């Protein structure tokens, strides 16, 4: 059986005597690594060898390396080790279904369909295989359910493990890491993060032997440019005068930015350099356009042999508009034989789409763009279309892709060049600059290993940008990994059922979130100790050896109180005459006490008061730090206690005769419900909110548990919602949400947003058989978004069929059948 060959540099590096000796020791002591290497058509990099050696030694590994560096080889070696045995199994987890599908197809090519399975929530292919690809949520659910599929599990590969920083889904990664049996070894693959050692230390604490391997070297060097008018200018100075490894912004770029993108004379250039070195303005906005049309830029990149390219545009509408613009401008980047191959692939991949839906989906315009070598890629595209774009780009048939940043999250679409049109994006609330980590992730797509000698990034210059700020952004290659973990109702029920309340608190305190908080506490405690030493020094400095001054801190406190009262009286406001009079009496009394204090007559009064003022200021800062320590210590366990109190008050948990907390019958149901609104869904089933609904109304109501309205979306009034039993069910559900929200806030939990009914009517019509065009118009959604939300609704309905019984269960099944049709039913593998 042949393993897949991965692109790498053709030439093997020349080894020193010491390196040759180390290599011979590896061959002698690690036969599995040597056998694995012998089956490859390329040499492994040092970090890959170190990682494979660690796995053969019986350790888990955390591998942090740039995009495209070849981390996947480490995962392939873990699979190789497992498949070399008789029964060992491997689970390969990925954060997104698209990544799971891609990895499944790659592994099938290597090991055959009989040895590889796929589990993505709505797709189950060969789940008892020895190598199973799945989303991380599926593995989390299997752990809580103590699935028999966990038997003989030896390795879990967690691809894109830095995803645990995701504030919506990141907690799932930590749950898996904490709850996997200790016999299972973790192969964690991460982008380059600046705190890999901290994350590795936590992994070591909760998983045992874990080796941290960090590589910061890009396999293909990145050349960074700025598009200034019609010229590509190097971002960094590559002249001989620049120190090796230094990131010095190109002086030519600085002077061009200052002069509206125009090149100036060398004498003017020297003048710019002198002013910049003295701290003067390095650039000024000229009010003129700095860039060129996208179609012309695509042509420029084509002329300089810098295609294929990904243009990152942080807007779906912008991506679609870019394709239309390229077509209007007559862009054609393909040969006739390529166009024929593109059409053949598209027709084969999309043959199951209904003819009546093709026009609604914009199929013909999309195909024309593909044949010209341009395409968009974003979450609003139909999954089938996205998969075709990815395949054609990988085959070098599509030359330019206009994409949102979701393309940077691990999909295998490397390019020769990455173009960033802007260095800011909309985060849902406002436009914010992209972070160094995001910049690294985006430009990580540039440079195809084994194909390109170097990758290229192009920043389209915008008026007002600071060259030094751009250089700083582009030179920082990593970002910190911070936990987003927090206990949920479902998590609490599952853990209490398995371990009891006390042990669950201990388990949660082992989370990375608490680990980071505790590390912060260590730093805070160190600062408190330092400040306490300073306080002691201040006390010695304000000591009056004669004893005449008495307690100087008391004297300083009186002076401070007088100052605060005088400031309060000076502030404008609606103070009554009585309030002003009372404040003045307090000030007069304090002044009398001040004059009577022994320190008032001390010759060192002002000197001692200054030391006392410093002491008070530092004392207040120290108390604030101590308060921070108090709030951080055990923070995760405290949230768990509040979650537990809500569950106890609602009857999902109960205290048994021995004083232990155990799930009730309703709690057992909640343990099998996963999602942001797990408790609300459990309550709605328990209170029979769904009773009396037909399948379309059932599907419509299910949308409110998963759908998140866009910020610009208007409020949907009741008159637009389905009539009859649906209205009554929604009103009851809204009442349940209000009660739970009040209960959560009473228990010092953040509460939740009112569920959105924005997709209800569209889903109701879809379930009743309406045409795709009318449903998309009703939902005001793109086809890809509608398919994505509908599949999430199907997943939720599937959960209801697992926990409900009787008519509710039957109607949920009918609702699934009603909405799983047309473009929703289409999928390639798990699409």
Q: What is the full DSSP assignment across 640-663?
A: HHHHHHHHHHTTSEEE-TTS-EEE
The least confident of 33-47, 501-515, 640-654, 711-725 is: 711-725
Specify which of 267-281, 367-381, 561-575 reaches the highest per-range mean pLDDT.
367-381
The least confident of 385-394, 467-476, 597-606, 741-750 is: 597-606
Mean pLDDT of 46-58: 94
- Token pair in block for residue 801: 């069929």
Decide: helix, strand or coil at residue 716.
coil
The phi and psi torsions of 245 (rounded to 5 degrees) equal 85, -10
Mean pLDDT of 494-509: 88
Is the confidence at residue 829, as pLDDT, over 60? Answer: no
Helix axes 316-328, 294-303, angle to 10 degrees: 70
Decide: helix, strand or coil at residue 135.
strand
Predicted local distance difference test score (pLDDT) of residue 242: 43
Confidence grade of residue 796 (pLDDT, cut at 50, 70, 90): very high
Predicted local distance difference test score (pLDDT) of residue 587: 86
Do 811 and 688 contact (CB within 8 A), yes or no? no
- Token pair in block for residue 131: 């190598």
Predicted local distance difference test score (pLDDT) of residue 265: 40
Predicted local distance difference test score (pLDDT) of residue 99: 81
Predicted local distance difference test score (pLDDT) of residue 228: 85
Mean pLDDT of 362-370: 95
Predicted local distance difference test score (pLDDT) of residue 1: 38
Higher pLDDT: 760 or 124? It is: 760
The least confident of 350-354, 362-366, 379-383, 632-636 is: 632-636
**What residues have CB less than 8 Å from 47, skipping those under 6 apart?**
63, 65, 69, 213, 214, 215
The phi and psi torsions of 787 (rounded to 5 degrees) equal -65, -45
Task: Specify the DSSP element, H or E, that contains 623.
Answer: helix 605-632
Q: Which residue(s) pair with 156 in the sheet?
A: 91, 186
Q: Which residue(s) pair with 643 in the sheet?
A: none
Residues in the chain: 831
**What residues have CB less than 8 Å from 68, skipping those under 6 apart?**
218, 219, 220, 414, 444, 445, 447, 448, 449
| DSSP secondary structure code for residue 52 in this structure | H
Q: How far apart are the first and last CA of the chain?
A: 28
The phi and psi torsions of 403 (rounded to 5 degrees) equal -130, 155
Decide: helix, strand or coil at residue 625.
helix
Specify which of 9-13, 466-470, 653-657 reaches the highest per-range mean pLDDT.
653-657
Do 750 and 345 contact (CB within 8 A), yes or no? no
Higher pLDDT: 4 or 372? It is: 372
* Beta pairing, strands 89-94 & 153-158: parallel
Specify which of 74-78, 135-139, 579-583 reaches the highest per-range mean pLDDT.
74-78
Higher pLDDT: 180 or 553? It is: 180
Spatial distance between the Cα atoms of 438 and 459, rounded to a whole number of angstroms? 14
Do 731 and 737 contact (CB within 8 A), yes or no? no
Distance, C-alpha 113 to centroid of its chain: 31
Higher pLDDT: 665 or 216? It is: 665
Spatial distance between the Cα atoms of 511 and 171, rounded to a whole number of angstroms? 9
The pTM score is 0.77
Confidence grade of residue 12 (pLDDT, cut at 50, 70, 90): very low
Q: Helix, strand, coil proportions of the chain in percent (round to 5)?
A: 55, 10, 35
Q: Which residue(s) pair with 416 in the sheet?
A: none
Spatial distance between the Cα atoms of 118 and 100, rounded to a whole number of angstroms? 8
Confidence grade of residue 831 (pLDDT, cut at 50, 70, 90): very low
Do 153 and 89 contact (CB within 8 A), yes or no? yes
Spatial distance between the Cα atoms of 744 and 752, rounded to a whole number of angstroms? 9
Mean of per-residue pLDDT scores for the chain: 84
Spatial distance between the Cα atoms of 444 and 611, rounded to a whole number of angstroms? 54
Spatial distance between the Cα atoms of 367 and 375, rounded to a whole number of angstroms? 9
Confidence grade of residue 20 (pLDDT, cut at 50, 70, 90): low
Is the confidence at residue 541, as pLDDT, over 90? Answer: no
Predicted local distance difference test score (pLDDT) of residue 773: 92
Is the confidence at residue 828, as pLDDT, over 70? Answer: no
For the beta carbon of residue 39, count every other beta carbon within 10 angstroms.
Answer: 11
Q: How far is CA 209 from CA 59, 200, 806, in A?
A: 5, 10, 49
pLDDT in tens, 156-169: 999 988 888 887 78
Q: What is the full DSSP assignment across 152-200?
A: TEEEEEETTGGGGG-TTTTHHHHHHHHHS-TTSEEEEEE--BTTHHHHH
Whose tokens are 């780009």? That residue is 393
- Bond before 308 cis per omega within 30 degrees: yes
Cβ burial of 580 (10 Å; 0-12, 13-18, 19+) is: exposed
The phi and psi torsions of 356 (rounded to 5 degrees) equal -70, -15
Higher pLDDT: 718 or 430? It is: 430
Kindly state the percentage of the chain with pLDDT values over 70. 85
Predicted local distance difference test score (pLDDT) of residue 249: 86
| DSSP secondary structure code for residue 85 in this structure | S
pLDDT in tens, 101-113: 888 988 999 999 9
How many angstroms separate the most distant Cα atoms in the chain? 100
Spatial distance between the Cα atoms of 710 and 337, rounded to a whole number of angstroms? 43
Q: What is the full DSSP assignment across 719-752?
A: GGS--THHHHHHHHHHHHHHHHHHHHHHTT----
**What residues have CB less than 8 Å from 386, skipping those under 6 apart?**
98, 377, 784
- Token pair in block for residue 702: 């299910």
Q: What is the full DSSP assignment across 226-274?
A: EEETTEEEESB--STTSPTT---B-HHHHHHHHTTT----HHHHHHHHH
Is the confidence at residue 264, as pLDDT, over 60? Answer: no
- Token pair in block for residue 28: 């002698």
Spatial distance between the Cα atoms of 831 and 825, rounded to a whole number of angstroms? 9
Spatial CA neighbour of 590 closest among 556, 616, 619: 556
pLDDT in tens, 156-203: 999 988 888 887 788 899 999 989 998 999 999 988 788 889 999 999
pLDDT in tens, 570-603: 665 556 777 778 888 888 888 888 888 887 777 7
Do 384 and 787 contact (CB within 8 A), yes or no? no
Q: What is the full DSSP assignment across 358-421?
A: HTTTTHHHHHHHHHHTEEEESTTS-HHHHHHHHHHHHTT---EEEE-GGGGSS-S--BSEEEES
Spatial distance between the Cα atoms of 195 and 245, rounded to a whole number of angstroms? 22
**What residues have CB less than 8 Å from 297, skipping those under 6 apart?**
227, 291, 419, 458, 460
Dihedral of alpha carbons 368, 373, 374, 377, sign: positive
Predicted local distance difference test score (pLDDT) of residue 692: 93
Predicted local distance difference test score (pLDDT) of residue 152: 95
Predicted local distance difference test score (pLDDT) of residue 591: 87
Kindly state the percentage of the chain with pLDDT values over 90. 43
Predicted local distance difference test score (pLDDT) of residue 559: 82
Is the confidence at residue 363, as pLDDT, over 80? Answer: yes
- Token pair in block for residue 283: 């650039």
Predicted local distance difference test score (pLDDT) of residue 96: 81
Mean pLDDT of 671-686: 95
Confidence grade of residue 279 (pLDDT, cut at 50, 70, 90): very low
Tally the C-alpha atoms within 13 A of residue 743's C-alpha that lie toward its C-beta. Answer: 17
Is the confidence at residue 273, as pLDDT, over 80? Answer: no
- Indicate left, alpha or beta for 759 from its phi (over 0: left) and psi (-120 to 50: alpha): alpha
Do 479 and 436 contact (CB within 8 A), yes or no? yes
Spatial distance between the Cα atoms of 46 and 34, rounded to a whole number of angstroms? 14
Spatial distance between the Cα atoms of 243 and 376, rounded to a whole number of angstroms? 40
Higher pLDDT: 363 or 217? It is: 363
């Amino acid at each position: 059986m042949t393993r897949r060959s991965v692109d790498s540099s053709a030439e093997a590096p020349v080894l020193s005597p010491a390196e040759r000796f180390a290599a011979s020791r590896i061959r002698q002591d690690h036969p599995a690594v040597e056998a694995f290497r012998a089956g490859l058509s390329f040499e492994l990099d040092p970090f890959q060898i170190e990682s494979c050696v660690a796995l053969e030694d019986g350790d888990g590994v955390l591998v942090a390396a740039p995009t495209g560096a070849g981390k996947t080889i480490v995962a392939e070696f873990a699979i190789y080790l497992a498949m070399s045995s008789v029964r060992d199994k491997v689970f390969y987890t990925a954060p997104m279904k698209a990544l799971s599908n891609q990895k499944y197809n790659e592994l099938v090519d290597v090991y055959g369909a009989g040895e590889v399975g796929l589990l993505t929530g709505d797709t189950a292919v060969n789940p008892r295989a020895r190598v199973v690809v799945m989303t991380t949520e599926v593995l989390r659910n299997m752990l809580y359910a103590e699935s028999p599929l966990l038997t003989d599990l030896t390795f879990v590969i967690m691809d894109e493990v830095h995803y645990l920083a995701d504030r919506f889904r990141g907690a799932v990664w930590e749950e898996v890491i904490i709850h996997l049996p200790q016999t299972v070894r973790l192969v964690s693959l991460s982008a380059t993060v600046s705190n890999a050692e901290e994350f590795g230390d936590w992994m070591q604490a909760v998983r045992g032997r874990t080796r941290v391997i960090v590589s910061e070297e890009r396999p293909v060097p990145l050349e960074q440019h700025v598009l200034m008018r019609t010229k590509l200018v190097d971002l960094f100075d590559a002249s001989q005068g620049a120190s090796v490894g230094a990131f010095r912004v190109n002086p030519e770029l600085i002077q061009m930015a200052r002069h509206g993108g125009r090149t100036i004379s060398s004498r003017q250039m020297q003048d710019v350099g002198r002013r910049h070195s003295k701290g003067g303005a390095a650039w000024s906005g000229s009010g003129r356009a700095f860039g060129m049309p996208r179609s012309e830029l695509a042509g420029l990149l084509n002329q300089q042999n810098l295609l294929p390219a990904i243009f990152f545009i942080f807007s779906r509408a912008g991506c679609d508009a870019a394709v239309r613009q390229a077509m209007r401008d007559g862009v054609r980047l393909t040969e006739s034989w390529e166009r024929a191959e593109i059409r053949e692939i598209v027709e084969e991949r999309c043959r199951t789409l209904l003819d009546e839906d093709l026009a609604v989906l914009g199929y013909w315009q999309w195909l024309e763009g593909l044949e010209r070598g341009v395409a968009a890629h974003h979450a609003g595209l139909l999954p089938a279309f996205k998969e075709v774009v990815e395949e054609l780009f990988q085959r070098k048939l599509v030359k330019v892709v206009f994409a949102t940043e979701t393309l940077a999250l691990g999909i295998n679409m490397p390019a020769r060049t990455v173009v960033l049109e802007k260095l800011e994006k909309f985060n849902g609330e406002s436009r914010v600059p992209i972070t160094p980590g995001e910049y690294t992730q985006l430009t990580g797509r540039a440079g195809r290993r084994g194909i390109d000698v170097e990758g290229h990034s192009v920043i389209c210059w915008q008026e007002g940008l600071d060259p030094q700020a751009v250089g700083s952004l582009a030179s920082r290659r990593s970002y910190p990994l911070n936990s987003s973990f927090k206990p949920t109702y479902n998590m609490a029920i599952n853990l209490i059922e398995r371990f009891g309340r006390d042990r669950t608190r201990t388990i949660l305190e082992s989370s990375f979130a608490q680990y980071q908080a505790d590390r912060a506490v260590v730093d805070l405690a160190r600062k408190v100790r330092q400040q306490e030493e300073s306080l002691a020094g201040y006390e010695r400095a304000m000591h009056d050896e004669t004893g005449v001054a008495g307690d100087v801190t008391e004297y300083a406190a009186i002076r401070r109180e007088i100052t605060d009262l005088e400031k309060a009286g000076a502030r404008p406001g609606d103070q009554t005459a009585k309030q002003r009079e009372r404040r003045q009496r307090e000030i007069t009394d304090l002044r009398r006490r001040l004059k009577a204090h022994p320190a008032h007559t001390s010759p060192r009064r002002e000197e001692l008061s200054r030391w006392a003022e410093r002491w008070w200021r530092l004392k207040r800062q120290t108390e604030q730090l101590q308060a921070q320590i108090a709030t951080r210590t055990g923070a995760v366990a405290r949230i768990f206690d509040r979650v537990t109190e809500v569950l106890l008050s609602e009857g999902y948990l109960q205290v048994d005769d021995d004083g232990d907390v155990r799930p009730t019958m309703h709690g057992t149901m909640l343990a099998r419900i996963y999602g942001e609104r797990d408790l609300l869904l459990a309550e709605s089933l328990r209170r029979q909110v769904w009773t009396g609904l037909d399948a379309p109304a059932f599907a419509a109501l299910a949308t409110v548990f998963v759908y998140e309205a866009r910020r610009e979306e208007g409020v949907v009034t009741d008159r637009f919602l389905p009539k009859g039993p649906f209205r009554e069910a929604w009103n009851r559900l809204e009442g349940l949400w209000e009660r739970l929200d009040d209960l959560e806030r009473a228990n010092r939990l953040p509460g939740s947003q009112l569920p959105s009914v924005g997709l209800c009517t569209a889903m109701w019509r879809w379930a009743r058989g309406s045409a795709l065009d009318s449903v998309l118009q009703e939902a005001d959604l793109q086809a890809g978004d509608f398919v994505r939300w509908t599949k999430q609704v199907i997943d939720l309905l599937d959960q209801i069929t697992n926990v409900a019984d009787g008519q509710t269960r039957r109607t949920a099944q009918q609702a699934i059948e009603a909405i799983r049709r047309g473009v929703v039913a289409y999928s390639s593998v798990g699409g």
